[in-house]
Amino acid sequence: MKIKLLFLILLMNLTNYKDLLGNINSKIIVKVENEIITNYELKNKILTTLVLSNQEINQKNIDNLKKTVLDQLIHLKLKKIELLKYKIPKDEKRINAYLSSISRNNIQNFKEKFRNNGLNFELYLDDIDTEFRWQKLIYSIYQKKINISDDAVAKEIDKIVKSQSTVTEFELSEIEVDFNSNQSYEDKVDEISQKINKIGFENVALNFSISTTASKKGYLGWLNEKSLSNEIYDALVNLNPGDYTNPIRKQNKILFLKLNNKRITNSDEVDKEKLKSKIIEKKRNDLFNLYSQSRLSKLRNSSYIQY
């Protein structure tokens, strides 16, 4: 009798857990051209997001994620369709380096986390592979269009060094998100702000940022004050380490910046080569993000998506 009772309790708990996500049958919920999204994929990605960001699995958190995760899945399918036109190989080395980074060099324990929570690790890997191959595609298509003048960078560095005796440098992380006509700017800001307060800036960057820095939990590194726009500098200058900026609106995107640390350096001690590298890297990333979002937006507008 005790064994039967324990079995019934276990079955009831398992049923309640699955009921949080509704019907467990794998049904098609969205068609993106010839690709499909099933409710199994949606459930798996929602649960994966909650588990990896250490959020409680409850109906409120699941409901809050449904729209965002469904949009992510649609974008992944659009990217997959586009990638079929090109021969972009899987980058096992980069995937493993990424997994090592987010698992603190313990990939096996990371996989166990998926198994223990009944999550599909292969779907997670496939998403990472798609994102990395998409980045390679964007780079291969647009690299020739990205011309960053060495003279312009040299003048910028010279201006930084000569403009003042000391230079402030900011160690930053970022979150960049889209918003569209289906959601107001204020609602999107409120949604991301709540997520940051609940699961932390880095987890939001990893799971929701559209920037290429998402795979590094939004980490941008050290940036010189003179390499920043006036708007961004003004947003950062009065922050304390650990704080993040008010939202910065850029057309149909919203940017949040976290100040990890800051330091003041004598201008004659500035490492010009490192500064040059950082300026070029930031300019390149900004342009690649712009091209990536533009191409994805065109794909979405020209593709047949049926809910």
How far is residue 110's CA from residue 99's CA, in Å, rounded to a whole number?
Answer: 8
Return the pLDDT at 15: 45
Alpha-carbon gap, residue 261 to 263, rounded angstroms: 7
Does the global pTM surpass 0.75? no
> In terms of DSSP bridges, do strands 248-250 and 166-178 run parallel, antiparallel, or are they unpaired?
unpaired
In a domain, 307, yes or no: no
**Residues 64 and 167 reside in one and the same domain:** no
CA distance 32 to 296: 13
Q: Find the Cα–Cα–Cα–Cα dihedral 256, 260, 266, 270, rounded to 10°.
A: -80
For residue 41, give both structure tokens. 């994929």
Asked if 134 and 215 sit in the same domain, the reply is no
Residue 301 placed within a domain: no
What are 212's two structure tokens? Answer: 């290429």
Instruction: Identify any residues that bridge with 175 across adjacent strands, giving them in sequence order.
Output: 256
Q: Tell me, yes or no, whether 110 lies in a domain.
A: yes
Phi, psi (degrees; rounded to nearest 5) at 96: -65, -35
Specify whether the CB–CB gap between 213 and 181 falls below 8 A: no
Residues 88, 178 within the same domain: no
> Does some domain include residue 33?
yes
- Domain assignment of residue 232, yes or no: yes
Q: Domain count of the chain?
A: 2
In Å, how far are 144, 151, 161, 231, 279 from 148, measured between CA atoms? 10, 9, 20, 22, 10
Tell whether 304 is covered by a domain: no
Residue 218: which CATH number? 3.10.50.40
Final residue of a domain: which of 91, 109, 143? Answer: 143
pLDDT at 280 (0 to 100):
80
Residues 60 and 132 placed together within one structural domain of the fold: yes
* DSSP state, residue 244: B
Residues 221 and 104 in one domain: no
155 inside domain: no
Do 224 and 191 share a domain, yes or no? Answer: yes
Pair of tokens at residue 167: 């230079």
Write the CATH number for 109: 1.10.4030.10
Percentage of the chain surpassing pLDDT 90?
44
* Whether 139 and 166 share a structural domain: no
pLDDT of res. 267: 64
Can you give the pLDDT at residue 126? 95
For residue 263, is it left (φ>0), alpha (ψ between -120 and 50) or beta? Answer: beta
The residue type of 217 is K
239 vs 195: CA distance, rounded Å: 20
Quick one: 117 and 197 in the same domain?
A: no
137 and 165 fall within a common domain: no
**Domain edge (last residue) among 143, 177, 200:** 143
Q: Are residues 238 and 266 in the same domain?
A: yes
β-pair type (166-178, 219-224): antiparallel
State which residues of the chain have pLDDT below 70: 1-25, 160-165, 180-182, 267-271
Q: Quote the pLDDT of residue 163.
A: 63
Residues 279, 156: Cα–Cα separation, whole Å: 9
**Residues 6 and 63 occupy one common structural domain:** yes
Supply the pLDDT for residue 1. 47
Q: Residue 4: what pLDDT?
A: 45
| pLDDT of amino acid 12 | 46
Tell the residue number behind the tokens 């569209």, with chain if given.
180
Q: Tell whether 173 and 270 lie within a shared domain.
A: yes
Q: Output phi, psi for 267, to 5 deg.
A: -60, -30
Query: Is residue 215 exposed (0-12), middle (13-18) or buried (19+ Cβ within 10 Å)?
Result: buried
Instruction: Provide the mean pLDDT of the chain.
Output: 84
Q: Which domain holds residue 88?
A: 2-143
Which residues lie below 8 Å from residue 249, measured CB to CB, with a gap of 6+? 185, 255
Q: Is 221 a member of any domain? A: yes
